[in-house]
Amino acid sequence: MPTISIPALALHMQADLDDNLLKVLRRSKVPIHYSCKQGECGSCKCVLESGAVELHGYKDTALPEVQRAQGLILACCSRIKGDVQLRLVDSDDYIVHPERHLVTTVIGLTELAPEVFSLRLKIRYVDREGEPFIFSAGQYAQLSVQTGPHTTIARDFSMASTPVEAEYDDELEFHIRRTPTGAFSGLLGRAVVLGSAVFVDGPMGSSHFRPRHEGALYAVAAGTGLAPMLSIAKTALDNGKLEPVVLYAGFKTPQEVYGRDELADLARRFANFRFHIVVEQGAHAGDRSGRVGDVLLGDPNSLDGSKVYLAGSPAMVEAVSAALIERGLPYGDVHADAFYAPRAVDEAAALGAPAAETEHVAAPRAEV
């Protein structure tokens, strides 16, 4: 039975041959970054100090050849082939909250813009009775809805609400773009209605607010990427952050714009908060015109000592992250969560699950 060791943390774990490395690390609550779980975002990078893993199914942009040659691997795409010794990257920066399995009830479903919904959930604690759900602003959770005796539809969504609202009010809010034929989002207003049950597993993701950082904070959102960016901006301001907090919210058309009142209210309450609504086509007077990343990069912002958080479409997140790093912002100061659509078969393989337990079709779960 292979052993996975992380000497810096004095950790030694048993694994099965061909186990998925990320799955083993998560099972042992190792504080590793991860996000997409399918070789696209590069968050789960770690250093293979010795031993053998088989890497499969990842994008070159997530692990360029030059990094692979330096011994970096992606845990989510690594099959264990023997004893392995690892080093985590930047382990000081990690905040790890225990993963919870919650049952919630829908208490709000309102349209924020055409086909973009705010979904509000009330938590009923079932896994650790009475223990609040703790997450860091910017993280996400997997929402699942049981649609039949043997089918559950699940997708990842970022919390738009703040950790404080979960801890003290037992409430979570998500912003979900509905596609009528979307397997999960198409359920909004049908299987997901006031009073229905939604399962929540999480929190997950490493693109979360870093409370100890003392420089300016830039939050860049495309579409519903505004959800985690709002959570981060509100948390930073409520925590008493004194440096500038600047939020860029990008949309394709003026009709898609939402969140304006909430952002304006934050700007009234906090002198160090500014925001820009950026619209690609037909921007109204007072809004910025263009693509959100281009506007951020074109503004005379000094990014020295700043952190930039990004969320939304993979195209925006990948392009702007790369441009920021090219401009000299350290890799560790760019925190990006791209809203990748799931690849069911690959993810099942990556996490070592049989195909029948993929995100799309899973064993039914008892409602409590």
Ligand X SMILES: Cc1cc2nc3c(=O)[nH]c(=O)nc-3n(C[C@H](O)[C@H](O)[C@H](O)COP(=O)(O)OP(=O)(O)OC[C@H]3O[C@@H](n4cnc5c(N)ncnc54)[C@H](O)[C@@H]3O)c2cc1C
Q: Which residues bind ligand FES (CB under 6 A)?
A: 34-37, 39-44, 62, 74, 76
How far is the C-alpha of 53 from the C-alpha of 31, rounded, in Å?
20
The nearer residue to ligand FES, 35 or 162, going by C-beta atoms, is: 35
138 binds, among ligand FES, ligand X, none (CB under 5 to 8 A by kind): none
76 binds, among ligand X, ligand FES, none (CB under 5 to 8 A by kind): ligand FES
How far is the C-alpha of 146 from the C-alpha of 192, rounded, in Å?
10
Instruction: Kindly state the tokens that stand for 70.
Output: 């330096």
Start-end of H helices in 327-362: 344-350
Rule CB under 6 A: which of 15-44 touch ligand X?
35-36
CB 275 within 8 A of CB 262: no
21, 119, 222, 227: residue in contact with ligand X (rule CB under 6 A):
227
- DSSP 8-state symbol, 173: E
Contacts of 74 (CB under 8 A, 6+ apart): 39, 42, 44, 45, 55, 58, 62, 63
Q: Which residue is nearest to ligand X (CB)?
A: 182
Residue 182 binds to ligand X (criterion: CB under 6 A)? yes
- Judge if the upstream peptide bond of residue 203 is cis by omega within 30 degrees of 0: yes
Residue 337 binds to ligand X (criterion: CB under 6 A)? yes
| Beta-strand runs (E) in 132-181 | 140-148, 151-158, 171-177
Instruction: Kindly state the tokens that stand for 91.
Output: 């382990």
The nearer residue to ligand FES, 41 or 230, going by C-beta atoms, is: 41
Stretch that binds ligand X, among 6-14, 128-136, 169-177, 234-242 (CB under 6 A): 169-177
44 binds, among ligand X, ligand FES, none (CB under 5 to 8 A by kind): ligand FES
Rule CB under 6 A: which of 141-160 touch ligand X?
155-158
Residue 335 binds to ligand X (criterion: CB under 6 A)? no
Q: Which residues bind ligand X (CB under 6 A)?
A: 35-36, 140, 155-158, 174-177, 179, 181-185, 205, 224, 227, 337, 339-342
